[in-house]
Amino acid sequence: MSREYGVEDLLRTNAPQVLGALVRRYGHFDLAEDAVQEALLAAAGQWPDEGTPNNPRGWLIRVASRRLTDRLRSEQARARREEEAARLAPADSWTAPPPGESRAPSEDDTLTLLFLCCHPELTPAAQIALTLRAVGGLTTAEIARAHLLPEATMAQRISRAKKTIRGVPFRQPGPQDRDQRLAAVLKILYLIFNEGYTATSGTALHRADLAREAIRLTRAVRKLLPVEGAVTGLLALMLLTDARAPARSGPHGELIPLDEQDRELWDRAAVDEGLKLVEEALAQGPAGPYQLQAAIAALHDEAERAEDTDWPQILALYDLLVRQAPEPMAQLGRVVAVAMVRGPEAGLGELEALEEVLGSHYRFFAVRGHLLEKSGDPDGARAAYGAAAEGTLSRPERRYLRARAARLLP
């Protein structure tokens, strides 16, 4: 990202509260979101040179309000605009506080915005884009770069998303569907993190900006929902996974698998925080998928050496995980655990049962290649690694898989 980090962090922290203030006062989520983006860009250009205002949030609300009212004036008659503004908001509500005043929009707006951006009528791709822009404060250009898409394509995606939710009330869901909507929010944050930690395409293995943004947003949700086990578990999973990022690639960007990483390079502060959060998550009610995945990540991170990993315990956790959420990637992780506990042949037997579901995915062939190599079948392993290399759009992963195949040549 191009912004200076201190200002960037301040802007992104304030973005959802500023947007919430405008939507509560004026309505018009789509126009308000555009106005907030303009205010954020103005601040990013001015604050590094002129200094941060005493009341950054008030400054942003004031500037964004001016941009929004200018746009409203251009779209409707002045009398109609004033009449609607008066109807939508009490005279003293959500005005920009002057410098020094403590009054500010509620941080609950962050969660309300997340629920809105993850509305069930939106596709996952639209939910991700809108979340990064409206709640994360990223520009359209930044989001497009992170996803390796043209800016115009991403702008269209965001515009369509905002049109889809136009008219949706700006409030949190009712008790009857809150849990389902929260699950959707956490899933989107999880998808953003996964794309950041292991990019599905392109030249980079790791898109640190996306991973960092997912962690920041999940921290914000946990601040609002500190005793939700799924939220705590998701944050723990992200921290424990991202802690390994410094050791995942070599000097030329090449992929280094978990069992070959220099664990001295792992971020120990992130590991320690993640381990503490795992304990909290498991104490916050029945363990769900995020808590179980975090517990698996904790067992990996606790091992001083790869050979010290408690694979029987990891397998037991995977057994619980696939019973709760029989998703293909969780089942594939369980296959690896089976192989580590019972041998590669046992793992291959479990893998065959997944061929119908996962047989076209490159990770299926990568695991098959690994297990065939361990079981003493270099020709089969080489073919599987080759198929995996052809199936991935990530260049670092492709290079790694081809290298694995090449070293098995007679």
Minimum mean pLDDT range among 81-95, 268-282, 313-327? 81-95
Task: Name the percent of the chain lying above pLDDT 70.
Answer: 90
Pair 216, 264: CB distance under 8 Å? no
- Give me the pLDDT at residue 83, please: 58
Which candidate, 295, 289, 357, places its Cα nearest to that of 324? 289
- pLDDT bracket for residue 85 (50, 70, 90): low
- Give me the pLDDT at residue 149, please: 86
- Give me the pLDDT at residue 151, please: 92
Higher pLDDT residue, 380 or 16?
380
Phi then psi for residue 255, to 5 deg, are: -75, 135
User: Is residue 236 classed as helix, strand or coil in its secondary structure?
Assistant: helix
Handedness of CA 36, 39, 44, 50 (dihedral sign): negative
- Give me the pLDDT at residue 341, please: 98
Minimum mean pLDDT range among 72-76, 294-298, 300-304, 383-387? 72-76
* CA atoms within 13 A of residue 12's CA, in its CB half-sphere: 24
Pair 295, 287: CB distance under 8 Å? yes
- pLDDT bracket for residue 384 (50, 70, 90): very high
- Helices 208-224 and 178-197 pack at an angle, to 10 degrees, of 150
Q: What is the mean pLDDT of residues 372-394?
A: 96
* CA atoms within 13 A of residue 233's CA, in its CB half-sphere: 22
Per-residue pLDDT for 91 more than 60?
Answer: no
Minimum mean pLDDT range among 10-19, 100-109, 361-370? 100-109
Q: What is the mean pLDDT of residues 219-246?
A: 96
Task: Name the percent of the chain lying above pLDDT 90.
Answer: 60
- pLDDT bracket for residue 354 (50, 70, 90): very high
Rounded distance between C-alpha atoms, residue 274 and residue 403, angstroms: 33
Q: What is the mean pLDDT of residues 84-90?
A: 52
Which candidate, 204, 308, 214, places its Cα nearest to that of 263? 308
Pair 214, 230: CB distance under 8 Å? no
Which candidate, 167, 175, 216, 173, places its Cα nearest to that of 192? 216
Q: What is the mean pLDDT of residues 286-309?
A: 97
- Give me the pLDDT at residue 368, please: 97
pLDDT tens digits, one per residue of 167-213: 898 888 888 888 999 999 999 999 999 988 987 777 888 888 889 99
- pLDDT bracket for residue 1 (50, 70, 90): very low
Per-residue pLDDT for 94 more than 60?
Answer: no
- Give me the pLDDT at residue 87, please: 56
- Give me the pLDDT at residue 90, please: 45
Q: What is the mean pLDDT of residues 157-162?
A: 94
Rounded distance between C-alpha atoms, residue 410 and residue 45, angstroms: 59
- pLDDT bracket for residue 359 (50, 70, 90): confident
Per-residue pLDDT for 89 more than 60?
Answer: no
* Extended beta strands in 61-183, E state: none
Rounded distance between C-alpha atoms, residue 346 and residue 80, angstroms: 72
pLDDT tens digits, one per residue of 100-151: 333 444 556 888 999 999 999 999 999 999 999 998 888 888 888 878 789 9
- Give me the pLDDT at residue 388, please: 96
Locate 75 and state its tokens: 């779209």
Q: What is the average pLDDT score of the chain?
A: 88
- Give me the pLDDT at residue 108, please: 67
Rounded distance between C-alpha atoms, residue 295 and residue 299, angstroms: 6
User: Is residue 90 classed as helix, strand or coil in its secondary structure?
Assistant: coil
Locate 214 and state its tokens: 């997912």
- Give me the pLDDT at residue 75, please: 67
pTM reported for the whole predicted model: 0.83
Per-residue pLDDT for 390 more than 90?
Answer: yes
Q: What is the mean pLDDT of residues 342-352?
A: 97
Q: Exposed, middle or buried, 339 (CB in 10 Å: 0-12/13-18/19+)?
A: buried
Rounded distance between C-alpha atoms, residue 108 and residue 225, angstroms: 10
